[in-house]
Chain A
Amino acid sequence: MADVVIESTPDVLMDLDKSGQGDVRTEEMLVNMGPQHPATHGVLRVVLRTDGEMVLESIPHVGYLHRCAEKIGENLQPYQYIPYTDRMDYLAGMNNNQAYALAIEKLAGVEVPERGKYLRVIFAELNRVASHLVAFGTYGLDMGAFTPFLYSFREREMILDMCESACGARLTYSYLTIGGAHDDVPDRFFDVLLEFLDYFEPKIPEYNQLLSFNHIFVKRTADVGVISASDAIAWGLTGPCLRGSGVKWDLRRSAPYEIYDRFEFDIPVGVAGGTDGIPRSVVVGDCWSRYFVRVLEMQQSCRIIRQAIEQIPDGDHINKKLKNLKLPAGEVYMEIENPRGQLGFYVQGDGSAIPSRVKARGPSFSNISILNHIGRGCLLADIPAIVGSTDIVMGEVDR
């Protein structure tokens, strides 16, 4: 494998002198996009060096939401830190809770009762659908389609209602915690959930008609921002960004955690256009593939939830023997598949109740780091398409 030369130019401003050479006089221009910009999905700032409509360089600047969550983790007991994990990837609070809980459980050797495990899977998948619905809706917004956004938020609202009925919160749940889920679901919850699934699954083809195969949308996203499989792996991309490049890799199947080995589901990946009704201009690894992987994943999540509802046993929802949890000396690194990719927690224990080091590896952090590499040579209008297709959440990039 050849070495990679990272062409990052810190002194962007100084390069401006190079303009005006040769016969055709072109002028390079610096365009500052963000941190307050509707298409940057939060406070992301991208400094673009452009030549006309052509982007020569796109350097992401992050850190506007930095709260040093890792330092906070070194001062709090694991239970107390769970609410902070909600606020990393705030569109997938359940998954973040689950990741941190799994890391602590692995470190301290905590048992989780069966019902707790199933509740975790159900809510993690439900949250994945909610998160992908936001990705779907806002990506439409980025591309100038307003209507799909309203559709996706209509359905997302129902999921939030269900989460609220289980834990009282709509976004920052702190529901899945060390040892299981902190409460059992209310009566009739699974009936409501099944009703929702029956309603939701036929909506997905509707979304496809509305946005996925929309001619203008395809023109804006197909063959734009193409990431090759090897680049995606080298840059540490995970989740739909990696699978969009055709790599059939999903931790739920590749290295199963929790109880994912008990369910049947497929791993959608990006495929070349022209087959299976995929628009002809689509290339593996382009923005459209990343987007479409998310749409297909919503279907698979519904499949998992249905199986989990069938299998879920009665019993405790949380390990009730767990009092005054002490973290033994040692360290763990635990990764799970979040809606945006692999969220990893590195936790070091030293025998006390408070971990001595907590490190969160957010998928969005790695996913956006490739922006300059794929943005080189594209059009200015493609930058929102590329940023939107990576579906970043700045709360997680900056932590």
Chain B
Amino acid sequence: MTSEEICDILKGEFGEAVTDSVMDARRPYVVIDAARWEEVARFLRDDPRMAFNMLQCLSAIDLLEDNKLGAVYDFFCIPQDGTDDVLTLRHHFAVRVVTDRDDPHLPTVSHLWPAADWHEREAFDMMGIVFDGHPNLERILCPDDWEGYPLRKDYEFPLEYHGIPGTTEHELTNPRH
């Protein structure tokens, strides 16, 4: 199925929940209302027409101009019909869910795709998105006592961490960003 067809089915099933669709040939995606994301995600996984059994990637994005944070999900459908031939990709799809930058909350999908467990932790760690219902939302790549969310566009690099200097005099006078 093409992304347009998937988008049409989602619009038919969920109507208002699909707030936008960008059918760019390089990477088509739809924007889903965060409040209904869990419901839509379940549909994407369980509906036989969709059958997205693999969550490939979850990328957190910072939409600074709109004062929003977003999570981008990339799904694959790997057919599981047990043939001896090489399986071919049935279809893939991308979803973007945005949330408020000042109080970023998104529902977790880690109970639907366990792959989301670590990806959501990474998004929380790097971008500060809180995934409600996640079983263990802790920092994963940064130390537990790290301050701030490094991948946000307005992140300021700490000058010092446990006595380790975080920047040099040269960098202070010649900022790289």
Contact = CB atoms under 8 A, between A and B. Distances in A.
Nearest to B137: A10
B84 interface: yes
Nearest to B92: A255
A253 interface: yes
Contact of B150 (A3, A68, A255): A68
Interface string A354-378: 0001010100011001100100000
Contact of B57 (A250, A253, A254, A359): A359
Given A70-B126, A348-B61, A230 B115 contact: no
Most chain B beta carbons < 10 A, residue from A106, A332, A357: A357
A219 interface: no
Interface in B93-121: 94, 110-115, 117-119
A13 interface: no
B136 A357 contact: no
B9 interface: no
Tell me if B's interface is mostly helix, strand, loop or mixed: loop
A254 B88 contact: yes
Contact of A4 (B72, B85, B114): B114
B173 to A, nearest CB: 17
Contacts of A357: 59, 61-62
Contact of A234 (B114, B140, B142): B114
A75 B87 contact: no
A365 B55 CA distance: 13
B151 A236 contact: no
Contacts of B126: 68, 70
B168 interface: no
Contact of A335 (B56, B80, B86, B142): B56
A236 B94 contact: no
A66 B121 CA distance: 14
B72 A255 contact: no
Contacts of A369: 114-115, 117-118
A72 to B, nearest CB: 10
A331 B26 contact: yes
Interface in A231-251: 233-236, 247-250
In which size bucket is the chain B interface? 35 or more
Range class of the A interface residue count: 35 or more
A217 interface: no
A107 interface: yes
Contacts of B85: 248
A398 B141 contact: yes
A373 B110 CA distance: 14
Contact of A333 (B46, B78, B94): B94
A255 B89 contact: yes
A30 interface: no
Given A71-B150, A75-B176, A359-B59, A10 B115 contact: no
Nearest to B134: A6
A10 B139 CA distance: 12
B97 to A, nearest CB: 15
Contact of B142 (A66, A230, A249, A331): A66
A6 B135 CA distance: 7
B7 to A, nearest CB: 16
B26 A365 contact: no
A233 B142 CA distance: 27
A344 interface: yes
Interface string B49-87: 000011111011110000000001010001010011111
Given A229-B80, A230-B80, A106 B26 contact: yes
A1 interface: yes
A240 B121 CA distance: 25
A63 B141 contact: yes
B114 A254 contact: no
Contacts of B87: 247-249, 254
B138 interface: yes
A236 B115 contact: yes
A352 to B, nearest CB: 13
Interface in A1-19: 1, 3-10
B143 interface: yes
B78 A234 contact: no
Ordered nearest first, which 4 A-B pairs have the shortest CB separation? Answer: A236-B115, A359-B59, A255-B89, A63-B141
Given A230-B80, A361-B59, A365-B118, 12 more contacts: A1-B45, A1-B46, A233-B54, A233-B78, A234-B113, A235-B114, A247-B78, A254-B86, A255-B88, A344-B74, A369-B117, A399-B141
Interface of B: 24, 26-27, 29, 45-46, 53-57, 59-62, 72, 74, 78, 80, 83-89, 92, 94, 110-115, 117-119, 122, 126, 135-136, 138-143, 150-151, 176-177
